[in-house]
Chain A
C-alpha cells in the first residue's frame, strides 16, 4: 500500500508540475519547420485573396456604379440591435440579423459592410428599418431615410446607430 501511495503521490506531483513532453516523438524542429511553411502559404493565399477582392470590385462593382452601405455604432452605444433591413429606391437591398459576436464587434468600434451593389449616377434614396429587442421586452422598430447622390466615384454611406430612435447617416 505504501508503494501505491508513493506512486500515486509521485504521479500526482508529476501531474501538477508537468510541463508536458508530448512532442518528444514529433521533434520541435519538425513542428517549427511546418509552422514556417504554414506561415508562407498563408502569405501566398492572402496575396491571392487581396487580388481576388480587387478583381471582384472591378468586375462586379465598378466605381462609377458602386454603392456600399456600412453600419457602425456611435461611441458608447450599447443596445440590443436585432436586425437591419435596407432598401435603395424602394427596392430591397439587404437585411441582416445580428449575432452576439457581431454586436460585440460593432460595440468595440468595428464597421460592418452591410451591402455593396450598383446604382446609376444621380439622386437615390436609402431607407433603413431597424429592430432592437432586449430579452423579455417587445421589439422596437425604427425607420430612417437618406437621400444621396451617386457620382463617378464609389458612393460610401455609413449608417451610424446610437440606439432605439437614433439612426444617423454619413456619406
Chain B
C-alpha cells in the first residue's frame, strides 16, 4: 500500500515538477520546440515526441549544429523528450535517453537533473534500490527549479528502502515548501508511523489535516490525512477520538464516502447510533455502485434496529435488499457485456478522450452496463496501467490505419506528378538546353572581353577600342586603297596620300581618347556583370525548380514500400498486444466484478436475515404493546 501511495504521489510530483518548469517553457521560443510543448500540454504526447524526435534528428544531421537555434536549448529538448516519454509511459526509452545524457560530458547541474529524472523513473518502475543509487550519485550544483523536487524524491526513495530516519529529516525541512504543501507533511506522518514513532506521526498528520488551502491537490491530501487518522484510531479502539478527524473530511471530496462510512462506524462503536445515522443517511443516497454506499445500506438499518426502531429497520433492510438485487442484476449485465467484448469497445470511445472525467461519465451511461463499475476498477494501479496501455495501443492502431490511407494518397500524388511532368519536362529540357548553350556562348564572350580589357591595361591596343563607325571607316579606307593599288598615276598617288592622312586622323582620334574609351569599356562590362548575375540567379532558380520537379516524384518508391512494411509489421504486433492486453483487462474486470458480486450476495443474505429479524421484533413489539382503548 505504501509503495502504491508513494508512486501515486510521485506521479503527482512529476506533474508539479512539470508545472514548475514554466520559465524554461516560456523561453522555449524555438517554434518547433514550442509546437511540441503545445501538443504535450494537451496530453498529446505521441505527437509531441514525434515533433521533437524529428527536430533533434535533423539537428544532429546538421554540419554545424551550433548555428541552429535549437543548439541553445538542445539539453532542454532532450529532457523534454524524456518528460514526454515518461508521460507516455515509455520508461525504458526515457531511462536510456537520460542515462546517455548522464554519461556525456555535460555540465554537473545538467547531469544532476538527469540523475533526478532517472531516479524518478526507477521509483515509478518499482526499482527503489536502483533509484537510491542514482539519487545518491547527485553531487554538486542542482538547478534551482528542481531543488525541492530532488529532496522530496530522495525522501520518497528513503521511505521505499526503509530508511525512515533519513526520510524524516528531509521531509521536516520540506514542510515549509509551498510546492509540497500537505504532501511533505503527509509523508512525514507516514514515515514517523513506519519508524515506530506513532504518536509523533499522528501529531504531524493532525497538522496536515488542518491545512488552509484552495488547491484541490492539497485539499485531497488533507482529507486523506484526516481519513487515515480516523481509521487508525478506530482500529486502535479509540472511535470517540476518530470522529473528530473524520468530521474534518469534506462532504464532496474524493474521500467523502469512505469518511462518512467510517464516521458512522465510529459513532456506532461508542453506542451513538442516532449520530451514526447522520452520515449513513447521507451516504445511502449516493451512487449505489460505491462499496461504502453498499455497506451503509446495511449500516443504516442496523443503527435503527439498535435504536429499537425495528419497523424502520425492516423497511430499510428491505430497501437494501432491493438495491442489492438491482446491483446484482447490473453486475450480471456488466459481466455479460464484458464477456461479449463490449467493455473494451466502451473504453476506446473517441468522444471520451475529450473529457477528463470520462471514467465517471462512463458509469452514468444507461446503455453501457459494462462500465458501471469502472470507477471501482480504476482504484487498482495495475488496472489503470493496463487500461492506459490498451487505450494507447488503440490509438496506435488508428494512427497506422490513417497512415496507410496517407501513403495511398502520397502514391497517388506521386503518380499524378510523374504523369504531368512526363508530358512537360522533355519540352522544357529541350528549350533549356538551347538557352543553356546560348547563355554559355554569351558568357564566353563576356569572359573574352574581360580578358582583353585586362591585357590592354598592360599593353594598350587602341584599335580594340575603335567604335563601329570608326571600324567601318577604316574598312572603307582599306577598300579604296585596294582599288588604287595598281594605279600609279598622279591621281592614284593623290588618293593614297589622302587615305594615309585620313587613317592618321582616325588613329589620332582613337589614341587621344584612349583612356576615356577604356574607362567606358570597363563601365559597360560592369553593367553587363549585373545582367549576368541576374541571369545566373534565374539559371540557378531554374535548376533548383527543375531538380525539385524530379524530386517531387522520384525516389519515394523504396521509402514508401519500406514504411508500408514497417507499418504492417507494427500493426500486427499492435493487434496481438491489444488482444493480450484486452484479455488482461477483461480478466481483471471479471475477477473484480465477481468479487463484488460475491460480496453483494453476502450482503443480500445478511439483509434478508436481518430484515426477517427486524420484522419479527417489530411484530413482537407491537404485540407487547397494550391494546388501544376503544
Contact = CB atoms under 8 A, between A and B. Distances in A.
B399 A45 contact: yes
> Which of A56, A59, A72 has the most B CB atoms < 10 Å from its CB?
A59
Given A8-B302, A34-B389, A45-B570, A158 B31 contact: yes
B610 A4 contact: yes
A53 B50 contact: yes
B34 A22 contact: no
A25 interface: yes
A40 B90 CA distance: 8
Interface string B341-369: 00000000000000000000000000000
Contact of B291 (A15, A39, A49, A60): A15
A12 B606 CA distance: 15
Interface in A5-28: 5, 7-9, 11-13, 15-17, 19-20, 22-26, 28
B591 A25 contact: yes
A10 B89 CA distance: 37
Contact of A50 (B54, B302, B541, B551): B54
A137 interface: no
B35 A113 contact: yes
Nearest to A49: B50
B584 A26 contact: yes
A108 B25 contact: yes
A77 B51 CA distance: 25
> Which of B41, B385, B403, B574 has the most A CB atoms < 10 Å from its CB?
B41
A1 B610 contact: yes
A17 B1 contact: yes
B41 A44 contact: no
A55 B570 contact: no
Contacts of B50: 46, 49-50, 53
B298 interface: yes
Contacts of B88: 42
A153 B262 CA distance: 68
B556 interface: yes
A52 interface: yes
Interface in A35-66: 35-56, 58-60, 62, 64-65
Contacts of B93: 39, 43
Contacts of B57: 50, 54
Contacts of A39: 89-93
A75 interface: yes
A16 B262 contact: yes
Contact of A108 (B33, B41, B262): B41
Interface stretch (A79-87, A99-107, A125-133, A139-147): A99-107
A134 interface: no
A109 B1 contact: no
A30 B22 contact: no
Interface residues of B, number: 97
A152 B540 CA distance: 11
Nearest to A65: B548
A75 B563 CA distance: 41
Contacts of B522: none
Contacts of A42: 88, 90, 392, 396
Interface stretch (B227-235, B472-480, B491-499, B509-517): B227-235
B570 A111 contact: no
Contacts of A9: 265, 268-269
Contacts of A1: 302, 305, 610, 613
The SS class assigned to the B binding surface is helix
Interface stretch (B187-195, B376-384, B451-459, B462-470): B376-384
A55 B410 contact: yes
Interface string B10-28: 0000000000001001101
B89 A12 contact: no
Contacts of B244: none
Contacts of A13: 231, 234-235
B4 interface: yes
Contacts of A11: 295, 599
Given A24-B591, A39-B89, A121-B541, A109 B28 contact: yes
A60 B48 CA distance: 21
B22 A109 contact: yes
Contacts of B560: 55
A30 B584 contact: yes
Contacts of B46: 46, 49
A115 interface: no
Contacts of A24: 591
A51 to B, nearest CB: 6
B590 to A, nearest CB: 9
A158 B377 CA distance: 46
A112 interface: yes
A165 interface: no
B261 A41 contact: no
Interface string B379-419: 11111011001001100100110010010001001100000
Nearest to A21: B380
A70 interface: yes
Contacts of B22: 108-109
Contacts of A51: 559, 563
A34 to B, nearest CB: 6
A156 interface: yes
B245 interface: no
A50 B81 CA distance: 13
Nearest to A48: B566
Interface in B554-570: 556, 559-560, 563, 566-567, 570
A109 B34 contact: yes
Contacts of A22: 377, 380, 382-383, 588, 591-592
B38 A152 contact: no
> Which of B31, B33, B556 has the most A CB atoms < 10 Å from its CB?
B31
A105 B258 contact: no
B577 A41 contact: yes
A17 B88 CA distance: 30
6 contacts: A4-B302, A12-B261, A48-B400, A101-B42, A102-B38, A109-B26
3 closest pairs, A vs B, by CB? A111-B34, A110-B38, A19-B1
Given A12-B261, A17-B231, 12 more contacts: A1-B302, A5-B268, A19-B4, A22-B380, A22-B382, A45-B574, A50-B54, A59-B552, A64-B545, A109-B25, A110-B39, A111-B31
